[in-house]
Structure 1
Amino acid sequence: MTTVANLDPISVEVTPGEEAGCLLEIRNDGSIVESYVVEVVGDVAAWTTVEPSVVSVYPGTSERVSVHFRPPRSAQVPAGELPYALRVVPTEHPEDLTVPEGTVHVLPFVDTTAEIVPRTSKGRWGAQHEVAIDNRSNTPVQVALTATDPDDRLRFRTQPENLTINPGQAAFVKLRVKPRRMLWRGHPVTLPFQVVVTPDDAPPAALDAATVQPPILPNNLGRLLAALVVLLLLLTGLWFALLRPAVKTAAKEATQEQLAPIAQKANEANEKAQKAVEAAGPGGANGGAGRPTPTAAPSVAPTPPLPGVPPGAQAFARRLQTTTGTGASRTDQYTVPSRRTFVLTDIFLQNPQGDEGRLDLVVDGTVVLTVALNNFRDLDYHMVSPIEVPAGRVISMRVTCQRAGAPLAGTGGGGQCRDFALLSGYHRTVASSPTP
């Protein structure tokens, strides 16, 4: 081999955003003048340069070229040891190439940013914020969050309080803010607070925010109550003066219309009995004894059907319930019996614990309703167009629990979501098809 190449030094330490370098000595032990092309090989090639990249060396002499390492201050360049190589290729004798190897030690740096959204919240019973933390470092960063207010009028709950963020990624922390005392009357009060984000090996960042607490009872409550009393008196007078007589008249007419056919049938029965007595003569077959006495037909009012249930249908309700652990999903279902069609008209959902997660109502494999648990405690749906579920099909309630609320008394320990769905409607009997 007529080409010898050496690095000085072999290992280089560099800080992202700055520059470090080394020298490459190329010696020509051949008998002719040789030109050498130097190329960088490895992950460091994107931010490494060689000056000059082409060098001519006389026989028996050596030349030096400079290698410059300039890693950007970015999360895309990880901290740690990065191996590299320089490929030295002779122009006249390319088969006589040599590849010296070295390492670049990229030092870690910490660069994080944080933001709180919204800056100002509003709520009588509390509000929720979200802290977004962006890790622009080239190494994982552990972050701790603390929240304080100057007057100690707020309670805070962060989830989670400590977390680790990988390079180039962002994390989001939920912050629940709740006043220590209720504000019953008066003007809205603005309560400022501060969230401190403390990353490892870096100065903390303070985020200023505030929450507005409106009063529970509005200031014009007295005027509203007086207006409601006046309106109630007006409605009462309207009822007794106009609506009540009209309703009584309409009810009387409707009753007379229903009883008219029954009275007519009773009169016809009396006439037939009277004619039978006259045809039997003065004494009749028994000398007048035991003359039948005309009896009026009993007045029986028909039983009206249930509201919304067609004649011949049967009202039906089924309650689905699930008890689900945090991070899990659980399903409860109802199968429509044979020779029946279930017509679903109303859905009543209950989340008594204030769980957080997702509830799906699935009919025959199709999701017809999806709601977030933390958006309701009691929720009632009335179907404008009822859903008809044929026999053998399944209605399921699937609950995915993210965080369980405060457990109800008598239900055991916490940590489980307990949610319910009441399905109301009616069953309609389906006639079986005749056997051919």
Structure 2
Amino acid sequence: MFEGSGRYLSGSGRYPAAPDAGPPVGSSVHRVTTWTSLEPASTTVDPGSSTTVRLRLRNTGDVVDEYRFEAVGDIAPYVSVEPPTIRLFPGTTGTVELTVAPPRSPDATAGPHPYGVRILPTEHPGSATVAEGNVTFTTFMEVRAELVPQTVKGRFRGRPKLAVDNLGNTVLTASIGGGEKTSDDLSYEIVPSNVQIEPGRAAFVDATLKPRQITWVGQKQQRPYELSVRRSGFDPLVVNGTYVQRTLLPVWMMTSLSLLLALTVTAVVLWLTYKAPVRTLAQEKLQQAAATTLPEQPTGKPTPAASPTAQPEGPDAGGGGGEKKPPEAAKPARAPLPITSQDKPNLFVQFAQVRLVEGAADCKLTAPYTVGKLDAATQQALTCFQQSNDSKYGQFSQMAKTDGPGNLGRTTMTALLAAHFVASKDVPLNQNQASPEVPWIRNILLWGTQGEFDDGDLATTVTYTKANIDYLRKHVQLQEKPTRADTDRIKEYQAQFGAEQTGVLDEPTLTKTKLGWVHEQATPGTVTAKDWLPGPMK
């Protein structure tokens, strides 16, 4: 507590009495006019609930004074004071209540947390004091696991990834293994088999599934499997997946081989049974001799004149009656990009909505909207974002022209992802250290450099788009180490607009991403991936 001198005897004194405090409290310039006490000085609270601490305050001065309170320290956002101000006569004591309500999220890390309440007298502003206390957040565990992808296909092996998210407020230590329902026809290998994840972070585990026997012909086989996350003192968290084992010789190949074999047998049989016609000259000699010795007797009938051959009528008749018109060239199918209001709800529009709800380029999605659907509210916010960027970057940004106002194409998606980086500065990539910026950079460069999306591109952007949404909604950060491929992709992006190929996401390169520069900007982009468009996540 505080005594008359204004110095806190049992606290650490870690919080200054006022941001612009002059001479120390208790000096000849300022006179201490308050006495405070926190009851209790130390307490415990569960994240997601609240606890109350009483602050007693006495006016030890000789004038009526009004006191204002404000929480300070790392957990200040979780502390509220009621009432926020009180007025005390000299020698009287007042009480306010502090409510500490940490959220049930990884931000409220388990363990002790010091905090303070700054008390600011109106009449004696130089006599501001700080009452310090301590609150301990209890531990809670919350884990989420997801297979990416949930269904894998292959003839000899499948390689799914298990994403494990630590949504609790303490370090997660777990082992990864197979479940009880894994098919006996599968063997598996898991790397790493043990993980340690900080609160609010995620880890990816590589699994390799191998069938015990190769299926040569026939139908593909569905083989279910399970991966489990095991923690000490908790039931295993089980995730179900399916491995589709393809046959070594697919059905279409067997059909083709059967037809080819049938045609070969037919050709051999016809060749063996065919008899060539035999032509003899004897008959021809007899006919020539008869024509010589027995002259033809006239019949007395005139030989009818050969009638001219009738010509067929119509435009298809021979002799230039008409020409066949060449078939019309097939019209190319509409490219799937950009995404418009006619498309079904999907993951990429959901990311744009979450990004705009948080605010981007002074544009914010505040009206009600349908998750994943490019509805009127979402189109209005996207149009604002496009026009704001076009206005900021001038002729260098042409999002509305490239994608169309309110549509979500490659250039708008690139700029929305790049809006994650608030300041235009170099983003270093240390290949020896995992970083939460790597998923953002990889997703930005994929949309910026790819003119065509295949199955591999789609799987990659789905993984990172989900991680980006988790970061915006829950501040759950996926951290990965950069690789040489990331540096090469940055060089590829720089080469496309004629910049120096440094392999570093420097300020000019980052500015290009923010204005939505993409490879082949004049073309909308094509998609060969089968599962386009992926549905929104929960």
Normalising by structure 1, report the TM-score: 0.51
Structure 2 residue corresponding to 1:135, chosen from 151, 157, 166: 166
Q: Secondary structure at the match of 1:100?
A: strand
Higher strand proportion (structure 1 or 2): 1
Give me the whole-angstrom Cα distance separating, in 1, the residues matched to 2:210 and 2:102: 47
Deviation string 1:275-304 (CA, Å, 9 cap, x unpaired) is xxxxxxxxxxxxxxxxxxxxxxxxxxxxxx
**Residue in 1 aligned with 2:191?**
159
**Residue in 2 aligned with 1:84?**
115
Give me the whole-angstrom Cα distance separating, in 2, the residues matched to 1:100 and 1:14: 19
The structure-2 alpha-carbon separation of the partners of 1:228 and 1:134, relative to structure 1 and needing over 3 Å to count, comes to: same
Does residue 95 (structure 1) correspond to residue 126 (structure 2)? The answer is yes
The alpha carbon displacement at 1:141 in A equals 0.4
**Residue in 1 aligned with 2:15?**
none
Give me the whole-angstrom Cα distance separating, in 1, the residues matched to 2:156 and 2:245: 8
Give me the whole-angstrom Cα distance separating, in 2, the residues matched to 1:82 and 1:151: 48
Whether the 8 Å contact between 1:135 and 1:167 is mirrored in structure 2 is: yes
Q: Secondary structure at the match of 2:257?
A: helix
Give me the whole-angstrom Cα distance separating, in 2, the residues matched to 1:359 and 1:71: 41
**Residue in 2 aligned with 1:6?**
37
Deviation string 1:291-322 (CA, Å, 9 cap, x unpaired) is xxxxxxxxxxxxxxxxxxxxxxxxxxxxxxxx
The alpha carbon displacement at 1:214 in A equals 2.4
Structure 1 residue corresponding to 2:257, chosen from 206, 212, 224: 224
Quick one: which amino acid aligns to residue 124 of structure 1? R
The alpha carbon displacement at 1:217 in A equals 3.3
Unmatched 5+ stretches in structure 1: 236-326, 328-357, 361-365, 368-436
**Residue in 1 aligned with 2:228?**
196
Deviation string 1:23-48 (CA, Å, 9 cap, x unpaired) is 11001222222211112111121111
Structure 2 residue corresponding to 1:172, chosen from 204, 209, 213: 204
The alpha carbon displacement at 1:227 in A equals 1.1
Report sequence identity in percent. 35
Within-5 A mapping of 1:198-277: 198-218=230-250, 221=254, 224=257, 227=260, 230=263
The alpha carbon displacement at 1:108 in A equals 1.9
The alpha carbon displacement at 1:102 in A equals 0.9
Give me the whole-angstrom Cα distance separating, in 2, the residues matched to 1:359 and 1:166: 26
Give me the whole-angstrom Cα distance separating, in 2, the residues matched to 1:6 and 1:232: 102
Whether the 8 Å contact between 1:110 and 1:202 is mirrored in structure 2 is: no
The alpha carbon displacement at 1:175 in A equals 1.0
Whether the 8 Å contact between 1:5 and 1:88 is mirrored in structure 2 is: no
The alpha carbon displacement at 1:96 in A equals 2.5
The alpha carbon displacement at 1:230 in A equals 4.8
Deviation string 1:184-224 (CA, Å, 9 cap, x unpaired) is 23322211111112244544221111112222234563861
Quick one: which amino acid aligns to residue 154 of structure 1? L
Give me the whole-angstrom Cα distance separating, in 2, the residues matched to 1:90 and 1:221: 90
The structure-2 alpha-carbon separation of the partners of 1:35 and 1:119, relative to structure 1 and needing over 3 Å to count, comes to: same
Aligned length in residues: 243
Give me the whole-angstrom Cα distance separating, in 2, the residues matched to 1:359 and 1:31: 72
The structure-2 alpha-carbon separation of the partners of 1:89 and 1:152, relative to structure 1 and needing over 3 Å to count, comes to: same
**Residue in 2 aligned with 1:53?**
84
Structure of larger gyration radius: 1
Give me the whole-angstrom Cα distance separating, in 2, the residues matched to 1:205 and 1:48: 34
**Residue in 1 aligned with 2:216?**
184
Unmatched 5+ stretches in structure 2: 1-31, 269-431, 433-482, 486-490, 493-538
Deviation string 1:234-278 (CA, Å, 9 cap, x unpaired) is 89xxxxxxxxxxxxxxxxxxxxxxxxxxxxxxxxxxxxxxxxxxx
Higher helix proportion (structure 1 or 2): 2
The structure-2 alpha-carbon separation of the partners of 1:29 and 1:154, relative to structure 1 and needing over 3 Å to count, comes to: same
The alpha carbon displacement at 1:150 in A equals 4.8
Give the aligned CA root-mean-square deviation in angstroms. 3.0
The structure-2 alpha-carbon separation of the partners of 1:41 and 1:229, relative to structure 1 and needing over 3 Å to count, comes to: same
Does residue 15 (structure 1) correspond to residue 40 (structure 2)? The answer is no
Quick one: which amino acid aligns to residue 260 of structure 2? A
Within-5 A mapping of 1:229-378: 230=263
Whether the 8 Å contact between 1:110 and 1:201 is mirrored in structure 2 is: no
Give me the whole-angstrom Cα distance separating, in 2, the residues matched to 1:81 and 1:222: 70
Q: Secondary structure at the match of 2:75?
A: helix
Give me the whole-angstrom Cα distance separating, in 2, the residues matched to 1:45 and 1:222: 71
